[in-house]
Amino acid sequence: MGTGGARSGGEQAPVTSIRTAPIMHPRALLRPLMPIMRMGLAGPMGRGTQMWPWIGLYDEVRAIRHIIEHRMTGAINLVSPQPASADDIIRSAAHALGRPFWLPAPEPVLATVLGRDAAASLIMADAHVVPRRLMASGFAFR
């Protein structure tokens, strides 16, 4: 989300840059994994310990409204304050579907199926992101 442009006299308007984590929802981040999980084939992806930033759809919408209402500017991370590993996320989703979490997908297999760059940036990336500014502004995650 950005606001910018010239005002009268050449002033620059304040800019807000929202950096959002993938949204945890069956029609978002989990969508490509849903068929695999429904077949009972979910399991660790690579080492499984890599941290995956995430945010729930409800909190995403509430946070954007909060940013607008509080006229926050600068870079703001929209991410859950509760960290989760790839294993945590896939295991929870499989459990919610009543399916097992057992079949590992080793890094070389992911690199072959997805391509090395996609596997590295989408699945194997390890990022621990914190919503410091959002929380400091009084936003409470649900």
Instruction: Provide the percentage of residues in the chain whose pLDDT is more than 70.
Output: 93
Residue 85 has pLDDT above 70, yes or no: yes
pLDDT at 2 over 60: no
Q: How many CB atoms lie within 10 A of CB 85?
A: 17
Q: Percentage helix, strand, coil, to 5, in the chain?
A: 40, 15, 45
Fold classification of 13-136 is Rossmann fold (3.40.50)
Q: Which of 10-14, 63-67, 69-73 has the lowest mean pLDDT?
A: 10-14
- Predicted confidence (pLDDT) per residue in 95-135, tens digit: 999 999 999 999 999 899 889 998 898 889 999 999 999 99
101-130: buried (b, 16+ CB within 10 Å) or exposed (e) per residue? beeebeeeebbeebeeeebeebbbeeeebe
